[in-house]
Chain A
Amino acid sequence: MVIVKRKELSLAEKLYLPEVVRGLSVTFRKMFEKPITRQYPEEPLEKTEVTRGQPRLVVKEDDSIACVSCGLCEAACPAYAITIDGGETDRAIEREPKRFDIDMLRCILCGFCEEACPKDAIFMSDELELADYSREALIYNIEKLKRPQAALQQRIDYVKKINTRWQTPSST
């Protein structure tokens, strides 16, 4: 049996009124303190390298994307948001996606695709706002997912830095 020991109340506490006045004084003082509200659309969120927004495909200098449609991100995606159809090209790296769709309504911004990607093709951007008038418009295809490397550079550098942890050879 659990015996809860209750605090013995003093007379002033039992009378309740002094405590009420104390409480009132607390709330009155708090009224003049600075509010912590962020007026969101006017004051946007601070975005740092660890901000994990929606996934985007990196466009390299030669206007191509690094994706070889291996399907690892598709397999890693816990929300089944990614759909890839592979295709061939004449380039040295001969595979590229014919279709690369991310259903933004399913995406949970977990970043598993970024982690799974062996070609550094997909990265989490700092874009967080997502609104449209239809469900179809929120299924993003390759063209909508493409972002220049410069826009994602901060995140790319960060992910590379984190990944060096696994790349250093272990002595054991």
Chain B
Amino acid sequence: MIEWSVLLAWIVKATVIYLGLVNVGALMTLAERKFSAWMQYRIGPNRVGPFGLLQPLADGVKFIFKEELMPAGANKMLFRFAPVIAALPSMMTIAVIPFTTKDVVLGGWNIGTFSIVNLDIGVLYILALGGLSVYGLIIGGWASNSKYSLLGGLRASAQMISYELTLILTILAVVVMAGSLDLQQIALSQNKVTDWNIWYQPLAFLMFVVATFAETNRHPFDFAECEPELVAGFHTEYSSMKFALFFIGEYSAMTVMACLTTTLFLGGPSVPFLEDPHWALQIAAFLAKAGFFLFLFIWVRWTLPRFRFDQLMALGWKVFLPLALLNLLATGVVKSLV
């Protein structure tokens, strides 16, 4: 029997984290436009609310009132279902991200560490669910009955499979370092700045970051929606809230990936030069680090041109896969010797 206070703590944490994720996704759409504007000597959205801060709200209202289009010959059920499959997994993976390693105490009420659940196999959980989101893209591309959508879906699947390998192998190196699949343990093992995995695994860190770009279909690897070739790729035929769901999925995936990078390589909630920080400070540190990676997503998008698809595949299979394997081997050897 679960105690009521524990259940309540779960509900509170789930509500806060989930709402935070959705709002970060919404703010990211604004941030993307703002940062891109600044990088191009423009001002960006500034009409809705102060500094355009209410722009995501206006966009949301617009999305809801847009007409729903269903292409002729589309598979109706899958067409409606695909955005949900694309958006759901990334929203679920946020559950195991440890925002603190210390127990959060609210006025004497201990609600445990600030993560929705604390799985022993958190890494596996994220990889298993994160891999599912590509089904949304493939199904959406296929169900649209359009050549561009189908090609976008195909590319997405090929790209995801290629870079999932790199992603897993680099995460494995971190797992070897920490000796645990529990994200909480991985975060705890990097409590001091000098213990952060980025110092011991710079190659893995680099490959992991590049792989997250490919996994989330972001520039310079956004072949699934590559505008000049495929109109809009897998979501060409989507409109209204269905299209918005793909967007929410993409931005939540980015947020989760930023959180994951923080946890795996930057010590998660660890605060530099503080041995025993307060839990609020830990959350702040975590959000700051994750925020940097979210900014990096935008920053890179507005800096680099898109790769060619064969370059992407060559990079994934001929460079990253052998490098990641070697890195894992070296990590294992060194770890067993020390």
**Chain A interfacial positions (CB closer than 8 Å to B):** 17, 20, 23-24, 26-28, 30-37, 39
Contact = CB atoms under 8 A, between A and B. Distances in A.
B295 to A, nearest CB: 10
A23 B300 CA distance: 9
B299 A37 contact: no
A35 B303 contact: no
B39 A35 contact: no
B39 A39 contact: no
A39 B44 CA distance: 11
Interface of B: 35, 37-43, 206, 299-300, 302-304
Nearest to B305: A23
B41 A35 contact: yes
A34 to B, nearest CB: 7
Nearest to A24: B303
Nearest to A32: B38
Contacts of B43: 35, 37, 39
A23 B303 contact: yes
Q: Which of A24, A32, A33 has the most CB of B within 10 A?
A: A24
B320 to A, nearest CB: 12
Q: Which of B40, B300, B303 has the most CB of A within 10 A?
A: B303
A34 B38 CA distance: 9
A27 B37 contact: no
Contacts of B304: 20, 23
Contacts of B38: 30-32, 35
- Interchain residue pairs A-B with the least CB separation, the first 4: A31-B38, A27-B303, A23-B303, A37-B43
A33 B299 CA distance: 16
Contacts of B35: 31
B41 A27 contact: no
Q: Which of A26, A36, A37 has the most CB of B within 10 A?
A: A37
Nearest to A34: B41
B16 to A, nearest CB: 31
Nearest to B302: A27
Contact of B41 (A20, A23, A28, A33): A33
Nearest to A37: B43
Contacts of B40: 30
A90 B160 CA distance: 86
A34 B40 CA distance: 10
A39 to B, nearest CB: 7
Contacts of B37: 35
B45 to A, nearest CB: 12
Contact of B299 (A27, A35, A39): A27
A37 B39 contact: no
Nearest to A39: B43
Contact of A36 (B41, B302, B303): B41
Contacts of A23: 303-304
Contacts of A34: 41
B42 A37 contact: yes
B42 A27 contact: no
A23 B39 CA distance: 12
Contacts of B41: 30, 33-37
Contacts of B303: 20, 23-24, 26-27
B215 to A, nearest CB: 18
B33 to A, nearest CB: 13
27 contacts: A20-B300, A20-B303, A20-B304, A23-B303, A23-B304, A24-B300, A24-B303, A27-B299, A27-B302, A27-B303, A28-B299, A30-B40, A30-B41, A31-B35, A31-B39, A32-B38, A33-B41, A34-B41, A35-B37, A35-B38, A35-B43, A36-B41, A36-B42, A37-B41, A37-B42, A37-B43, A39-B43
